[in-house]
Amino acid sequence: MKRILITGSNGLLGQKLASLLLPRTDVTLLATSRGDNKLAEVFPTLPFASMDVTNREEVEKVVADFQPTHLIHTAAMTNVDQCETDQAGALRLNRDAVAYVVEACEKHNVHLIHLSTDFIFDGENGPYDEEAEANPISFYGETKLMAEEIVKAATCKWAILRTVLVYGVVNDYGRTNIVLWVRDSLQAGKVIKVVNDQFRTPTLAEDLAMGCWLAVEHDAEGIYNISGKEMYTPYDMALIVADYFQLDKSLIDKADASTFSQTAKRPPRTGFIITKAEKELGYKPHTFLEGIAIVASQADFQV
């Protein structure tokens, strides 16, 4: 029996993990997040504990009480521009909290699955494999690299799962994703500007959740790239979404990244080579087209 503690359960990945793992008879689950459980209506049977990962004592108490075999650490400050403007907050959540989680995992012999990002790379020569040299160009990327170094030095078992541009339907407070944003904008007849000089391997949130479970199931150790396989620009993605919903592609304008006023730099070309995860974990991501269909069905179901 795996006893799995999830941090950041109110977030997109946390929700997909709850959906994937709650029905399993070989898993005892504990969802944790700062504040209230926003999943109570969606998953009324989901065991939940309030836990602020930036509070060292709280992390220690919850881990000590639940005694997990595995901890999936999804909680982070992921807004890249916010990390640039609130660097103290980014360090608290993306570096210090990781140290507290690692400390608790070491003390209670817990296998840590830590989520990381393509933004630890400068994007000069993607796609990247697990051995590529990190060189972040944003403060967000810097904090996530600091976190990786903390995890790598841990004396407990650990795996780092790096991912790219995660999209999916989140049960909550009006957040959107690229698929629904493009669909809804074009349906409303709006002209949208979409970047055509940044390359990514977009990742369906359900695939990332499955990657986390496979890492738990295999007791995986080391670094794994968990993303989609196909390399696209957001502009490419927008065209595919428009085709899928049979909407007017002439409303989609190409734009290069320099035309957007963003606080933090974005790496131009990241994306991942996922051969290691495919071979060692049996990871099989959906295509982007399949991902659109899944997102569309969930969005329509929510409405």
Task: Give the DSSP letter of residue 269.
Answer: B
User: What's the average model confidence in pLDDT over 174-194?
Assistant: 91
User: Over 70: is that where the pLDDT of 10 sits?
Assistant: yes
Report the share of the chain in percent with pLDDT over 70: 97
Give the residue from 116, 96, 100 showing the smallest Cα distance to 108: 100
CATH 3.40.50.720 matches 2-168+203-229+272-286: yes
User: What's the average model confidence in pLDDT over 206-234?
Assistant: 98
Please report the pLDDT score of residue 301 as a whole number: 55
Confidence label for 161 from pLDDT (cuts 50, 70 and 90): very high
What's the alpha-carbon Rg for the chain, to the nearest Å? 19
pTM of the model: 0.97
Domain ranges within the chain, ordered by starting residue: 2-168+203-229+272-286
User: What's the average model confidence in pLDDT over 86-95?
Assistant: 98
Please report the pLDDT score of residue 303 as a whole number: 39
Please report the pLDDT score of residue 261 as a whole number: 84
Judged by DSSP in three states, 199 sits in strand
Give the residue from 9, 47, 51, 43 showing the smallest Cα distance to 28: 47
The rounded mean pLDDT for the chain is: 96
User: What's the average model confidence in pLDDT over 207-230?
Assistant: 98
